[in-house]
Structure 1
Amino acid sequence: MSLVRIDRDARGVVTLWLTRAEKHNALSAELIDEIHAAIERLGADEAVRVVVLAGEGKSFCAGGDLGWMQEQMAADGETRAAEAWRLAEMLGAVNACPKPVIGRIHGNAFGGGVGMACVCDLAVAAEGAKFGFTETRLGLIPATIGPYVLARMGEAMARRVFMSARIFGAAEAVRLGVVAEAVPEEALDAAVERQVRPYLDCAPGAVAEAKALALRLGAAPSEAEVEASVAALVRRWESAEAGEGIAAFFDKRRAPWMG
């Protein structure tokens, strides 16, 4: 059963839905691979003008799947690195997609969900959406998403929320640069359409080349930065804190560092 769904309208506007709704679209290895494959196909499809990235159910994306994370705790270093690269390469593919990618954010966007918003060209959020880099509560760090989060938010803004696991709302997400605007939930689809519509009057090749130029001239993460983020995550998975934090989560108890 596929974990994504692609809806396409007559204008060439495609919505890429994450359909793991029962898990709040948490990023499992299978979902990561399906997003990566879908975005590669859409990026190469000349009939596609705009991609909207959205989540079914109550949340956009609740971050990394905890079962997947638990598997990494028992894996060897080589496997851990391969799994970190799996996420890094998917985020890189969305970030570099030659089509404009617009995020439709509702419900929860935690950890990797914030990373997904940050690799969109812009994102629109429902006013009730909640955001957070929750990894440090588990003894982990937001490493693989880090290069893209810092590119979007800048260091000063990122340091307000990157390490504290504090949950913040859509209005603060606008101030931090994670999303472009926050609207009432009933107006979310109309706000996404408002962002889609201008692209349909633009030459598709020019849009693709303009995006590529923006990435080259801007703060797009380098290969060395992505490699460093993967290495940092692998080291953190090997830490005693990560082992204790993940175990505490599954045991439904508080980790020892929680006040």
Structure 2
Amino acid sequence: MNYQTLNITIAGALATVTLDRPDVRNAFNDTTIAELALAFDELGRDAALRAIVLAANGPAFCAGADLNWMKKMAGYTHAENQADALQLARMLRTIYLCPKPVVAKVQGDCYAGGMGLVAACDIIVAAEEVNFCLSEVKLGLIPATISPYVIKAMGENAARRYFLTAERFSAREALRLGLVHELVEAGALDAKVAEIVKALSSNSPHAVRQAKVLVRDMAGQSVNDALLADTAERIAHIRASEQGREGVASFLEKRKPNWLN
């Protein structure tokens, strides 16, 4: 497919989805939302892929919503606004639920809805110069559709502050809060992302997929008998799987597992 707002490349088992509207600081509109949803749905179903990187062209990662799109929305009815917002919510869910591990490579400032994009990813690597901002209340809005992912990523207490104040905060603060996993100099960004992708690609594809589901399902759960039974069933199931058996056998036999051949 020919994308209007994205650039998608595939190199071996790695796909890179790049926001490609640098002239508007990669602000997204309805076209970008539709294309991101389609891209991550299709890439998530590609058995040959082991990881996806979400990146951006230009000095900014994503400035949030496109101004022309916001002007258009100003004339929408309540029903039209609700339908429009639901498309954004579904796109974020598609990234969040993508079967492949998704790494966000944040090379520039990331504001408003852009923070939803990175928070929906599994691993976030940012350059030291990056600034973040949840700026919605400055415009009389709230970060509603991105809130499930941002709150999970940075925690309720931090989200309460930055949702309410719309203060800009640094990548170092984002690292402290847990929103960002790795902070590097801009020149080292590509190398760090490549290092993480290499680590992801060396692991069992089936186990990585199931580990991603495991984190999502276990977060916030009470440790009760039902949870114990659930976790025991999960490990029993994966031990008996083809890749589970191969992984243990290759370790004991001191050889590479077949997914690395």
Q: Tell me the residue number matched to 2:9.
A: 7
Q: Does 1:31 align with 2:32?
A: yes
* Cα 1:219–1:88 shift into 2, 3 Å: farther
> SS of 2:33's equivalent?
helix
Q: Following the alignment from structure 1 to structure 2, what is the Cα–Cα distance between the partners of residues 32 and 219?
A: 29
Identical-pair percentage: 41
Q: Tell me the residue number matched to 2:183.
A: 182
Q: Any idea what the Cα deviations from partners look like across 1:14-63, whole Å, max 9, x if unmatched?
A: 11111111111101000011011000000000011000000011111111
Q: Following the alignment from structure 1 to structure 2, what is the Cα–Cα distance between the partners of residues 218 and 6?
A: 32
Q: Tell me the residue number matched to 1:156.
A: 157
Cα contact 1:109–1:132 (8 A) shared by 2: yes
* Cα 1:98–1:219 shift into 2, 3 Å: farther
Report the CA distance between 1:147 and its aligned residue: 1.0
Give the alignment of 1:1-259 within 5 angstroms.
Answer: 2-10=4-12, 12-218=13-219
Q: Following the alignment from structure 2 to structure 1, what is the Cα–Cα distance between the partners of residues 173 and 188?
A: 19
Q: Tell me the residue number matched to 1:256.
A: none
Q: Following the alignment from structure 1 to structure 2, what is the Cα–Cα distance between the partners of residues 124 and 22?
A: 23
Cα contact 1:108–1:130 (8 A) shared by 2: yes
Q: Any idea what the Cα deviations from partners look like across 1:191-244, whole Å, max 9, x if unmatched?
A: 111211111111111111111121111259xxxxxxxxxxxxxxxxxxxxxxxx
Q: Any idea what the Cα deviations from partners look like across 1:57-116, whole Å, max 9, x if unmatched?
A: 111111111221222221111110011001100000000000000000021100011111
Structure with bigger RCO (C-alpha 8 Å, 6+ apart): 1
Structure 2: stretches of 5+ with no match in the other structure: 222-261
Name the larger-Rg structure.
Answer: 2
Q: Following the alignment from structure 2 to structure 1, what is the Cα–Cα distance between the partners of residues 158 and 109?
A: 20
Report the CA distance between 1:160 and its aligned residue: 2.6
TM-score (norm 2): 0.81
Structure 1: stretches of 5+ with no match in the other structure: 221-259
Which segments of structure 1 move beyond 6 Å, counting only runs of 4 or more?
none
Across the two proteins, how many residue pairs are aligned to each other? 219
Cα contact 1:158–1:176 (8 A) shared by 2: no
Q: Following the alignment from structure 1 to structure 2, what is the Cα–Cα distance between the partners of residues 210 and 45?
A: 18
Q: Following the alignment from structure 2 to structure 1, what is the Cα–Cα distance between the partners of residues 195 and 164?
A: 34
Q: Tell me the residue number matched to 1:247.
A: none
Q: Following the alignment from structure 1 to structure 2, what is the Cα–Cα distance between the partners of residues 188 and 162?
A: 28
Cα contact 1:132–1:161 (8 A) shared by 2: yes
> SS of 2:162's equivalent?
coil
Q: Following the alignment from structure 2 to structure 1, what is the Cα–Cα distance between the partners of residues 214 and 134?
A: 29
Q: Following the alignment from structure 1 to structure 2, what is the Cα–Cα distance between the partners of residues 117 and 178?
A: 9
TM-score (norm 1): 0.82
Report the CA distance between 1:159 and its aligned residue: 1.8
What is the aligned-residue RMSD (CA, Å)?
1.3
Cα contact 1:114–1:178 (8 A) shared by 2: no
Q: Following the alignment from structure 2 to structure 1, what is the Cα–Cα distance between the partners of residues 182 and 101?
A: 17
Q: Which amino acid aligns with 1:61?
A: C
